[in-house]
């Protein structure tokens, strides 16, 4: 451990995406001396790194944004219902400039370790640029989907063409015109990238292990009247989102599926399909993620749409998910996704039964065939939720690392704090909701900001979750999901069970008990004087 401490800070924030920017602003408003460390050369987090063709939000613009400043809400206007990555990045740049956040951000600087010093109750934070700082609090804003997952394909380095990772796509773009492209991965990323790549490439081969349930997003430009109306109602919309189980300002569904005739169901599904994206899941029927028959009914509707769109019946069948529930994996939103397979230049290879055996200098080889291409694209996902946190050497009491503590699955209190890791706060940490992220982030930011204010006012030096409160929260995280179909994602490598990473113990790592209920639980803890946390003067 270095003793060359150069600076004393109240707060170190790791990451300059939505979470880090909002957190920096919040603690600065309270007069804390704060610094953000960001590995990228600019702000944006997820929206800085994920520049692949077709990258855009799966949530609508007017609630996938920050709300802490009325002026910001007033000044920024979105151009599309689902903003593309360049627009999202422009937005976060605008936020950074408007609130003069950059002066407290160290870009191009990765935090390598954070060590809690029990003698001074401070954190010693070290970076890959050689900085060492001592801070009272450390707050992580690392994002849920940050640490790339690159499967251990034999021969990956032998490929003679260019290989690209979607989440590390070059900022200057890649010209795929006339190229033969192979892409592995058909999650939310692959589903967005495939139709755009298909427009450019001479030939695109898609390697699919598990088909997804893809509902079209129904993107369109935003109209001036609509923008004005949404701005005027922003805080009403936010209140509605905060009251929704997935933090989206949606209306409830029509009720339980079984209460409707087949004809009525089809009409409601069609309406949901036309509304687009997550609205299909949440505004059609209320029991899709709870009841197997209801889920199968919605799933079959989606399969019927696939059969209607994709001309080749064999391809349509390969694209049709079976054997796991709709929403058992995080469902992607499509932009002419299925339509892309009607191009003569796009072919789909099922690697579920004949897996990839090795990457070769000219392409890849599965158990029963070889394929050739010039460019290989990996859209293979992330070591989600815990991966970014455990990639930093974070040491709490008695030198315990977060990686050791979470060897059998993550454990937190409210997804925000960890026993044995005092004065550490994790925005959107494991055990916090997987829901519309900016809304969840801002609730976390408010809660942490208020906790820090409270600590300072009361002369508290150490804030730490009790072991009991943490165990109780972990139990609740597992309990609330057990009555849903979401646990079944484990059998199809869903990242929210950790099952997409070979060797990672499958355990549901996010809160599925309703974002609204989660927000209420966090508020109640604060109102009761930070119940479940030890506050030491």
Phi first, then psi, for residue 316 (nearest 5°) are -60, -40
CA distance 46 to 330: 17
Nearer to ligand NA7, 140 or 380 (CB): 380
Residue 66 CB, shortest distance to ligand NA7, in Å, is 19
Q: How far is CA 313 from the centre of its chain?
A: 33
Asked if 218 and 81 touch (Cβ cutoff 8 Å), the reply is: yes
Nearer to ligand NA7, 101 or 492 (CB): 492
Nearer to ligand NA7, 350 or 470 (CB): 350
DSSP 486: G
Nearer to ligand NA7, 138 or 184 (CB): 184
CA distance 394 to 422: 11
Residue 407 CB, shortest distance to ligand NA7, in Å, is 22
**Nearest residue (beta carbon) to ligand NA7:** 187
Q: How far is CA 463 from the centre of its chain?
A: 27
CA distance 440 to 428: 7
Could you tell me which of 247, 278, 212, 215 has the C-alpha nearest to residue 500?
A: 212
Nearer to ligand NA7, 51 or 209 (CB): 209
Distance linking the first and last C-alpha atoms of the chain: 26
Nearer to ligand NA7, 92 or 460 (CB): 92
Q: Which two tokens stand for residue 346?
A: 């796009």
DSSP 325: -
Alpha-helical runs (H) found in 359-495: 387-390, 402-405, 437-457, 467-482
Nearer to ligand NA7, 248 or 424 (CB): 248
Instruction: DSSP for 236-294, please give it.
Output: HHHHHHHTSTTS--PPP-SS-GGGS-HHHHHHHHHHHHHH-THHHHHHS-TTTTT-HHH
Nearer to ligand NA7, 210 or 411 (CB): 210
Nearer to ligand NA7, 46 or 67 (CB): 46
Residue 107 CB, shortest distance to ligand NA7, in Å, is 24
What count of Cα atoms within 13 Å lies in the side-chain half-sphere of residue 305?
22
CA distance 102 to 241: 29
Residue 65 CB, shortest distance to ligand NA7, in Å, is 17
Residue 492 CB, shortest distance to ligand NA7, in Å, is 6
Contacts of 380 (CB under 8 A, 6+ apart): 148, 149, 150, 151, 184, 185
Asked if 512 and 484 touch (Cβ cutoff 8 Å), the reply is: yes
Contact positions toward ligand NA7, by CB under 6 A?
A: 145, 151, 184-190, 209-210, 330, 351, 356, 379-382, 492-493, 495, 500
Nearer to ligand NA7, 55 or 477 (CB): 55
Residue 456 CB, shortest distance to ligand NA7, in Å, is 36
Residue 405 CB, shortest distance to ligand NA7, in Å, is 24
Nearer to ligand NA7, 36 or 147 (CB): 147
Nearer to ligand NA7, 55 or 101 (CB): 55
Residue 35 CB, shortest distance to ligand NA7, in Å, is 28
Residue 296 CB, shortest distance to ligand NA7, in Å, is 20
Residues pairing with 140 in the sheet: 14, 426
Residue 167 CB, shortest distance to ligand NA7, in Å, is 7
DSSP E strand stretches across 43-174: 105-106, 111-117, 122-127, 132-140, 162-165
Asked if 352 and 324 touch (Cβ cutoff 8 Å), the reply is: no
Residue 183 CB, shortest distance to ligand NA7, in Å, is 10
Residue 510 CB, shortest distance to ligand NA7, in Å, is 11
Nearer to ligand NA7, 348 or 418 (CB): 348
Residue 70 CB, shortest distance to ligand NA7, in Å, is 29
CA distance 285 to 262: 13
CA distance 51 to 223: 26
Residues 181, 182, 185, 191, Cα dihedral to 10°: 30
């Amino acid at each position: 451990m270095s003793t060359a401490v150069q600076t004393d800070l109240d707060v170190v924030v790791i990451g300059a995406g939505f979470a880090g920017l909002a957190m920096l602003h919040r603690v600065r408003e309270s007069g804390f001396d704060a610094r953000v460390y960001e590995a990228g050369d600019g702000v944006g987090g997820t929206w800085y790194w994920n520049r692949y063709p077709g990258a855009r939000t799966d949530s609508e613009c007017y609630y996938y944004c920050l709300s802490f400043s009325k002026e910001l809400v007033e000044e920024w206007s979105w151009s599309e219902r689902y903003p593309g990555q360049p627009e999202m990045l422009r937005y976060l740049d605008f936020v950074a400039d408007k609130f003069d956040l950059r002066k407290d951000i160290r870009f191009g600087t990765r935090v390598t370790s954070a060590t809690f010093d029990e003698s001074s109750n401070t954190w010693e934070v070290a970076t890959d640029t050689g900085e060492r700082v001592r801070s009272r609090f450390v707050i992580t804003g690392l994002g849920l989907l940050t640490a790339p997952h690159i499967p251990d394909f034999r021969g990956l380095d032998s490929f003679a063409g260019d290989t690209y990772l979607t989440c590390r796509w070059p900022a200057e773009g890649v010209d795929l015109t006339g190229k033969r492209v192979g892409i592995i991965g058909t999650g939310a990323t692959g589903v967005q990238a495939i139709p755009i790549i298909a427009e450019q490439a001479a030939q695109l081969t898609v390697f699919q292990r598990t088909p997804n349930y893809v509902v079209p997003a129904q993107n369109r430009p935003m109209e001036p009247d609509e923008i004005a109306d949404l701005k005027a109602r922003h805080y009403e919309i936010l209140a509605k989102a905060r009251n929704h189980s997935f933090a989206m300002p949606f209306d409830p569904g029509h009720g339980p599926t079984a209460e409707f005739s087949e004809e009525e169901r089809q009409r409601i599904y069609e309406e949901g399909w036309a509304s687009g994206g997550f609205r299909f899941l949440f505004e059609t029927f209320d029991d899709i993620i709870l009841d197997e028959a209801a889920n199968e009914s919605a799933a079959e509707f989606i399969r019927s749409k696939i059969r209607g769109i994709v001309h080749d019946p064999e391809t349509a069948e390969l694209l049709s998910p079976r054997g796991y529930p709709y929403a058992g994996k995080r469902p992607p939103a499509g932009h002419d996704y299925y339509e892309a397979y009607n191009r003569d230049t796009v072919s789909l290879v099922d690697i579920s039964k004949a897996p990839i055996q090795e990457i070769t200098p000219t392409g890849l080889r599965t158990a029963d065939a070889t394929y050739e291409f010039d460019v290989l694209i990996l859209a293979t996902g992330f070591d989600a939720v815990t991966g970014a946190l455990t990639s930093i050497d974070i040491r709490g009491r008695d030198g315990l690392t977060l990686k050791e503590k979470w060897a059998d699955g993550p454990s937190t209190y409210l997804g925000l704090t960890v026993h044995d890791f005092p004065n550490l706060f994790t925005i959107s940490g494991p055990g916090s909701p997987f829901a519309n992220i900016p809304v969840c982030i801002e609730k976390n930011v408010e809660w942490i900001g208020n906790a820090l204010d409270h600590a300072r006012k009361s002369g508290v030096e150490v804030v730490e979750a009790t072991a009991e409160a943490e165990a109780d929260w972990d139990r609740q995280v597992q309990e609330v999901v057990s009555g849903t179909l979401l646990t079944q994602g484990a059998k199809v490598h869903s990242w929210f069970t950790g099952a997409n990473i070979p060797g990672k113990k499958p355990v549901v790592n996010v809160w599925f008990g309703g974002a609204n209920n989660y927000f209420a639980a966090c508020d109640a803890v604060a109102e009761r004087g930070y119940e479940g946390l030890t506050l030491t003067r």
